[in-house]
Amino acid sequence: MSFDLPIYLPIAEISINALLILAMGGVVGFLSGLFGVGGGFLVTPLLIFSGVPPAVAVASGANQVVASSVSGALAQWRRGNVDVKLGTVMLTGGILGSSAGVQVVRILRELGQVELFISLTYVTFLGVIGALMLVESINSILRSRYGTPAPARRSAQHSWLHRLPLKQRFHRSKLYISAIPPFVIGIFVGLLSAIMGVGGGFVIVPAMIYLLRVPTNVVFGTSLFQTIFVTAFTTIMHAYENQTVDAVLACLLIVSSVIGAQFGVRASQALKGEQLRAMLAVIVLGVAVRLAFDLVSRPSDMFSLAPIEVGP
């Protein structure tokens, strides 16, 4: 029995084992359903590691995240866990941020530092967020185990957030806050989305939990909801500007990830919120450590090649 099913990718221009891609999509889909994140931060590095050119990995990964977020968001929608109003405010900012991020990437690409910048961004954000989430979730697991009462939610810590203008009522999230913080978070996530080729769920989920104090059950559905739009926008931008979306690669990832996502959503019902957050934190930290290791360890070859466009 052979575990090799080679398929030639029309845009990436490489032959790859289709079964490997299907397996990757399935695992990423499962995790995205489980944690309510798009899974872009996993799929992009995995694709690059499999030999897909980074630009194609970023763009096709974004396309796959569209599918797994739709699948996940619909499942959450049926449980009434999507705050459309809050999601819309964030995705408006997200699309603005994404447009700006594409320009940042273009400038860095010309400087030859785009890979370094992407790696540093990944390490910084995944590292900080992963560590914070891990500490927080372990604390809440310990608290629930020893029966210590949790500190009151919506403490006075972020009172300055409540003094901002443009206050809106977000019914589903049971919040009455200014529209500015979610909008700014949206811009920031959009920026990261374009630079890192991810939906930004791993940034938006903790931001909603810890900054906006959105109830955990609404966080995942709303994050997925906004991820659909931001990644759909990113995919079209990449297809239009760089022609780097590989439909065959995306199709393989999509088919397996939407199935995986359904199982992931089911598995998430069996687990508590803080357990899910602890697991996500461990995975996020793992990716950060791996990327940090690559930055500081001596490369096997000091040189690298990249194709360039040269005018006549």
Partner 1 sequence: MRQRLPLMLSLVTMPAIFLASLAAIPVTLAQTAPAVEAPVAAAPAERRETIEADVSTRTIAIGTNFTGIRVVIFGTVENSRQTKPDEGVYDVAVVIAGPKQSIIARQKSNVGGLWINTSSVRFKDVPSYYKVITTRPVDRIAPKPVLYQQGIGFENMRFATIDKIGVKELEDFRDSIVRIKKQQNLFQEEERGVEFIGRSLFRATVDLPANVSIGDFTAFIYLFRDGELLSSFKTQLGLERAGIERSIHELAFAMPFLYGCLSVAMALIAGLVATVIFRKD
The contact set with partner 1 (CB under 8 A) reads: 6-8, 10-11, 13-15, 63-64, 66-71, 74-75, 112-113, 115-116, 228, 232, 235-241, 243, 245, 247-248, 250-251, 254-255, 258-259, 261-262, 295-299, 301-310
Nearer to partner 1, 152 or 302 (CB): 302
Nearer to partner 1, 64 or 173 (CB): 64
**Beta carbon of residue 170, minimum distance to partner 1 (angstroms, whole number):** 25
Instruction: Say if CB 227 and CB 201 are below 8 A apart.
Output: yes
How remote is the C-alpha of 60 from its chain's centroid? 14
**Beta carbon of residue 174, minimum distance to partner 1 (angstroms, whole number):** 26
What distance in Å separates the CA atoms of residue 250 and residue 238, rounded to the nearest whole number?
A: 13
Nearer to partner 1, 66 or 209 (CB): 66
Task: Please name the residues in contact with 289: beta carbons below 8 A apart, sequence gap of 6 or more.
Answer: 127
**Beta carbon of residue 192, minimum distance to partner 1 (angstroms, whole number):** 20
Nearer to partner 1, 19 or 248 (CB): 248
**Beta carbon of residue 42, minimum distance to partner 1 (angstroms, whole number):** 17
Nearer to partner 1, 159 or 304 (CB): 304
**Beta carbon of residue 306, minimum distance to partner 1 (angstroms, whole number):** 5
**Beta carbon of residue 120, minimum distance to partner 1 (angstroms, whole number):** 8
SS3 string, 31-61, reads: HHHHHCCCCHHHHHHHHHHCCCCHHHHHHHH
Name the residue among 72, 74, 83 with its Cα closest to residue 265.
72
What b/e readout covers 234-258, taking b as 16+ CB neighbours within 10 angstroms? bbebbbeeeebbbebbbbbbbbbbb
What b/e readout covers 59-95, taking b as 16+ CB neighbours within 10 angstroms? bbbbbbbbbbbbbbbbbbeeeebbbebbbbbbbbbbb
Question: What is the SS3 assignment for 312?
Answer: coil
Nearer to partner 1, 75 or 185 (CB): 75
**Beta carbon of residue 118, minimum distance to partner 1 (angstroms, whole number):** 13
Nearer to partner 1, 156 or 310 (CB): 310
